[in-house]
Amino acid sequence: PILAGVVGWPVTYSLSPVIHSTWAHRAGINGYYVPVAVPPSEDEFRQIINGLRRVRFAGVNVTKPHKENALRLADEASEIAKKAGAANMLTFQKDHIYADNSDVVGFANAVKEQSTNPGIHGLVLGAGGAARGIILALQSLGLKKITITNRTREKAEALADEFSLDVVDWDRRSNNLDTADILVNTTSLGMTGQPSLEIDLNTLKPKSIVADIVYSPLETPLLKAASSQHTIDGLSMLMHQAVPGFKQWFGGTGIVDAALKQTLLTEI
């Protein structure tokens, strides 16, 4: 059988094994996709990756907190992984580990599912690791203007310099919505156990897209408030980011559809 998996900490609640197993089952592919828990130590990460190579894994997805470690470990990386500064895919070739980042294309495809014309202005909330991939996805979709806002303004400014963005003050995040075609929350606000994201969507255009990258809860307070808009939830992004790995390691075509989402919903 073909072996692949997901490496992270914690990894128990990862839905990636369900996605890949569902696709493998549908396609009649003889393969296993397993969760591998690796504590947040770069050393342990390296040891486990080398172990997985030795037992002939085809590759792994990498999730928190190892995405930066994955990029450093790889012998070669795609341009998009380098720009993101993080890799969520490692493919084990003969004497070689190749890093890629499918979070970027995953989010871009989740947007395309909602709209063939995502518009010109994106507003990104947050400036952590996840924001980088979202910014690259918005740029790949051809958005001409991207505004970033973050509680810690310096982090927004650093990303603005790197990716040519505009910065607005966190306290003024509700003031820039009238021109936004897409609003993405990459902060942890709104996640189960976290404070809610306070934002006033009154001025947001009805056709704009509102996205949240977390899936616990699936309908975050932001998505609930945006119910009259087009919304993208964290499961949509998760399913789309899995497609390149399934192709790369199992040689199959992963279809993102309502049936897969329904299966995942029973696991949340």
Cβ 184 vs Cβ 136: under 8 Å: no
178 is in an annotated binding site: no
Radius of gyration of the chain (CA): 18
Q: Which of helix, strand or coil describes residue 38?
A: coil
Q: Which of residues 141-160 bind ligand ATR (CB under 6 A)?
A: 150-152, 155
Structure tokens at 266: 């029973």
Q: Which of helix, strand or coil describes residue 266?
A: coil
CA distance 256 to 250: 16
188 is in an annotated binding site: no
Structure tokens at 64: 């928190």
Cα angle, residue 190 at apex, residues 144 and 102 outer, rounded to 5° = 50
14 is in an annotated binding site: yes
242 is in an annotated binding site: no
Interface with ligand ATR (CB under 6 A), residue from 5, 8, 59, 126: 126
Interface with ligand ATR (CB under 6 A), residue from 39, 40, 51, 128: 128
71 is in an annotated binding site: no
Structure tokens at 28: 């009649």
Q: Give the shortest CB-170-to-ligand ATR separation in angstroms.
A: 7
Residue 132 or 240: which CB sits closer to ligand ATR? 132
Residue 207 appears among annotated catalytic residues: no
Residue 1 or 193: which CB sits closer to ligand ATR? 193
Please count the residues of the chain. 268
Structure tokens at 245: 């790995």
Interface with ligand ATR (CB under 6 A), residue from 115, 188, 216, 248: 188
CA distance 260 to 18: 9
Binding of residue 195 to ligand ATR (CB under 6 A): yes
Interface with ligand ATR (CB under 6 A), residue from 9, 41, 129, 261: 129
The active-site residue out of 64, 67, 145, 224 is 67
Residues annotated as catalytic are 67
Residues near ligand ATR, by CB under 6 A? 126-131, 150-152, 155, 186-189, 195
